[in-house]
Amino acid sequence: MPAAPSSAADSASPVSNLSTAAWGDLFRGRNGWRALALTGGVALHAVNVHIVTTVLPSVVSEIGGLDWYAWSTTLFVVGSIVGATLSVRLLAAFGPRGACLAALAAFTAGSMGCALAPAMPWLLAGRTVQGVGGGLLAALSYGLIQLVFAPRLWPRAVALVSGMWGVATLCGPAVGGLFAQAGHWRWAFWSLLPLAAVQALLVAVQLRPGAGVRHVRPAGMPRIPALQIGLLAASVLLIAASEFAPALAWQAIGVAAGLGLGVAATRVDGRAAVRLLPTGAYAVRAPMGAIYAGVVLLMIGTTTEIFVPYFLQLLHGHSPLLAGYLTAAMAGGWSAGSLLSSGRSGAGADRMLRAGPVACTLGLAALAVLMPAHGRLAAGAETLLVAIALGTVGLGVGIGWPHLVTRVMSLAPAGQEGLASASITTVQLYGMAVGAAVAGLVANAAGLTAPGGVAGARSAAFWLFASFALAPALAAWLVARFATAAHSR
């Protein structure tokens, strides 16, 4: 088993040593159509995320289930972890085109289940299936970058994949908000089906065999790290279920046990013949381990987004449409930061890595003050400040994201490049799943459901954002230590 890089000098990446290609190179000729085929699935997935975030207050108003509010995201992300992990096997079995079409089929089935849901349990089942499809789409988009584009195009391609969340900030809140305001939230899910059909047609044409997409079918099928996946899923579900414990002490025990299962998954994976993450991923003192830990912590910070529409509608009196667009400022900041920083290299990339988590921390701290404090400022100023704070959280993730992802790809040991590409999404989703589970626990413990109402929501908003600001603050320390060492060498 290859040793993990022991220093930044050892981990100098071929990507970082190449000049980054211009945007025109990515969109020129057949590259442009391939980029659209890869990123369209992520755009569909991202639009769906914003649609659900926007309509969820209307959903619980009609079919109930406020105490299960965060579970819509938790189960979706657990399903996405399963889908992301299965992407390597699916790609080996069916090739790029077949794998993407299978992912779209699963996503479509889940969307139909959500649209037809008569009660919250049915909606949660549909969201789980949706998550499997979404995880496959996201992982395949990253994984296919190395098969479709030359290495010098990787940073731009990664930034473009991340930039699809910017497209979602325009479409998702509009679709979800308009249907929610009209009292027809189910049609928001139905509207995803034509988009999935168009994407399937694009994939069928651009990723067909013989179109120049590199793919060699392996002699044997890749094995799935089923035990590790099961432990990660159980970890998230146990943390999420802790919110239903009758006392705070039992909730704390449940969270500790869930995190313990997560640690057990890393120990099993470190000794497994079939790995979930590449060699060196769990060594936090090494560059790759620091990157993975930073990704998890940043994702935990962003999962506060799931409660933002509820707080904005209840505490600030905003319509579903406006609340959806304000919430999307976080994803918009992520996209803008990713696109603007993707051309940086060397010391400039290190500065982006150090500054990102700090900005994320400041944004969450500002939301802890602004979100529960409705009425203390003029309405327009208050709304503007909330939007800036949300955008800052996303910007903090976005400016470092292309450099985090490309370094994972370049640090991967020989023979584990495909695993490293797929693992980016796995780690990202695990961070989101843990964050969503803990967010539900913190919000409910702080009064979201009891006493509930405006007073409960104010308390929940403060404690949620204040406590979650600690995650990117820790990421800032980890990533700064790694980036500073890398630059000094």
Rounded to whole angstroms, the Cα distance separating 423 from 298 reads 16
CB 288 within 8 A of CB 11: yes
pLDDT tens per residue, range 196-227 = 998 899 888 877 776 556 655 655 677 788 89
Most confident of 84-93, 252-261, 406-415, 458-467: 458-467
More reliable by pLDDT, 303 or 401: 303
Predicted pLDDT of residue 173: 82
pLDDT tens per residue, range 308-323 = 999 999 999 898 889 8
Predicted pLDDT of residue 485: 46
CB 235 within 8 A of CB 66: no
Predicted pLDDT of residue 123: 95
More reliable by pLDDT, 11 or 465: 465
The gap between the terminal CA atoms of the chain, to the nearest Å, is: 26
- Confidence band for 484, pLDDT divided at 50, 70 and 90: low
Rounded to whole angstroms, the Cα distance separating 324 from 327 reads 5
Both structure tokens of 288: 């790759």
Instruction: Give the chain's length.
Output: 489
Predicted pLDDT of residue 142: 75
> Can you tell me the mean pLDDT for 342-346?
74
Q: Name the 3-class secondary structure at 5.
A: coil
Residue type, 297: L
pLDDT exceeds cutoff 50 at 18: no
Both structure tokens of 216: 């060699």
pLDDT tens per residue, range 167-195 = 776 778 888 888 888 888 999 999 999 98
Question: Taking the model in full, what pTM does it have?
Answer: 0.77
> Can you tell me the mean pLDDT for 82-100?
85
pLDDT tens per residue, range 405-426 = 777 777 777 777 767 776 777 7
Rounded to whole angstroms, the Cα distance separating 337 from 353 reads 11
Average confidence score pLDDT of the chain: 83
Report percent pLDDT > 90 for the chain: 32
Which domains can be identified in the chain, with CATH numbers? 23-213+225-488 (1.20.1250.20)
pLDDT tens per residue, range 422-456 = 677 778 878 988 998 899 889 988 988 888 889 99
Kind and range of the H or E run holding 102: helix 71-115
Rounded to whole angstroms, the Cα distance separating 477 from 436 reads 23
By CB atoms closer than 10 A (0-12, 13-18, 19+), residue 270 is: middle
More reliable by pLDDT, 275 or 7: 275
Quickly count: other Cβ atoms within 10 Å of residue 466's Cβ. Answer: 16
> Can you tell me the mean pLDDT for 37-49?
84
Predicted pLDDT of residue 212: 58
Residue type, 261: L
Predicted pLDDT of residue 215: 59
pLDDT exceeds cutoff 70 at 97: yes
- Confidence band for 144, pLDDT divided at 50, 70 and 90: confident
- Confidence band for 366, pLDDT divided at 50, 70 and 90: very high
Predicted pLDDT of residue 20: 58
- Helix%, strand%, coil% for the chain, nearest 5: 80, 0, 20
Quickly count: other Cβ atoms within 10 Å of residue 451's Cβ. Answer: 11
pLDDT exceeds cutoff 50 at 6: no
CB 476 within 8 A of CB 361: yes
Both structure tokens of 423: 């693992």
CB 240 within 8 A of CB 440: yes
Cα–Cα separations (whole angstroms), residue 56 to 52, 244, 308, 422:
6, 21, 11, 30
pLDDT tens per residue, range 367-400 = 999 999 876 777 788 899 999 999 999 999 988 8
CB 475 within 8 A of CB 293: yes
